[in-house]
Structure 1
């Protein structure tokens, strides 16, 4: 399980480094670089969206999955957990900078999706589990190593907490890849990538402060898109 370990280490190292050197960073770097990372997230999202094979099940998965997320209030649950984690960590360390609670929670949720639920991370973990090739996750690790310090410079050590859900998600996908991938088709994987791209696009808008999409509530769509793609291809067309 090389990829998830390397990715987790990169995120943790970047978060700790950013929290430590944060006060020394130029203010322009701290405020402008997140917009660059948001732009990168949008670009990656667009690149993934164009892989779509069956648009209808992707849209259906996004709508139904987001509705389920709203019903169970997934984003609220994540925000509450993040708020508690911030309080605990700031008792043990220095405050995570002069950032309001609402702004902190908005960014935390966006980073959760960016680091833990991106198509690159999910597909990379599945690919390594099936083929033993960790290349995709190593590439993601390089990006995370430079992304995490910028956000940690204003949000503190709390960003490092994201190592836990990231490793859990990637570890489960790695372990289950031998069972998941044989049941998929190239079209199903393409639609999965497209659905993840839509969420990544929304994440980029949120990081840049353009529009506060409920990205965490959209995550259940990733669980629905491949089954819906299969059913649509075999029974509706």
Structure 2
């Protein structure tokens, strides 16, 4: 029987690296001119686009009954996006950021940084697979690797957005901690996450969301990424239905 610490150790390490990275970013922020801060955010935005494209490539070769993986991904995004707008997820996440901003007396782009960092750190295959690995076997290796990447990203994002990025550690704690604990409960029902087509479908959907986040960071357009979060659940449900057609 794994202890609570064994199941969630990777999450706590991730929270710590986000906080440390944000602290370093705050130290750098007031020493960099605005143009350099913008370049840092653009660098993170370009890398985010690359990560999104890489994740979305998991759609290739994916088939569920008569439907191609790309079609399933599109349907999941449309249905998930409608549900997300109905539940006002984007507005609620922004409202949470604004509430933290008032409590901590943050300024500038606090809320924008909180939302961007929360989505970047919590939407992706490493969040899902790493949390499952930690919760099932007590192995934090994958989440430790993710924690290192998130810490480095937090330095760059905080230099541009400010204190709001540090508050995304709360989102990481809630999302990854909950996934790790749920993994232990549903251990016998979980497939091999590296090969299961439903996990690949979720990864592809997450990749498209990460692409949207990258476009937001580059200020090319404004995509309501948080509204698509239900698509991560809708996707496997559509897959299950399609395989029975």
Asked whether the equivalents of residues 89 and 226 of structure 2 are also in contact (C-alpha less than 8 Å), the reply is: yes
If the length of structure 1 is used for normalisation, what is the TM-score?
Answer: 0.87
What corresponds to 1:119 in structure 2?
125
What corresponds to 2:182 in structure 1?
176
Asked whether the equivalents of residues 199 and 218 of structure 1 are also in contact (C-alpha less than 8 Å), the reply is: yes
What corresponds to 2:212 in structure 1?
202
What corresponds to 1:137 in structure 2?
143
CA-to-aligned-CA distance 1:52-105 (integer Å, 9 cap, x gap): 212332221111111111111111111112112112212xxxx54xx3xxx554
Give the superposition deviation at 1:205: 0.8
Asked whether the equivalents of residues 44 and 157 of structure 2 are also in contact (C-alpha less than 8 Å), the reply is: no
> Any unmatched runs of 5+ in structure 2?
1-7, 63-68
What corresponds to 1:164 in structure 2?
170
More deviation, 51-60/157-166: 51-60
Stretches of 4+ aligned residues off by more than 4 angstroms:
none
Aligned equivalents of 1:13, 1:66: Cα separation in 2:
34
Asked whether the equivalents of residues 14 and 148 of structure 1 are also in contact (C-alpha less than 8 Å), the reply is: yes
Give the superposition deviation at 1:128: 2.4
Asked whether the equivalents of residues 107 and 207 of structure 1 are also in contact (C-alpha less than 8 Å), the reply is: no
Matched residue pairs, number? 226
Asked whether the equivalents of residues 22 and 153 of structure 1 are also in contact (C-alpha less than 8 Å), the reply is: yes
Higher helix share: 1
Give the superposition deviation at 1:170: 0.3
Change beyond 3 A, Cα 1:227–1:184: farther
Alignment partner of 1:88 out of 81, 100, 103: 103
Q: Aligned-residue CA RMSD in angstroms?
A: 2.0
What corresponds to 2:201 in structure 1?
191
What corresponds to 1:41 in structure 2?
48
> Any unmatched runs of 5+ in structure 1?
none
Asked whether the equivalents of residues 110 and 163 of structure 2 are also in contact (C-alpha less than 8 Å), the reply is: no
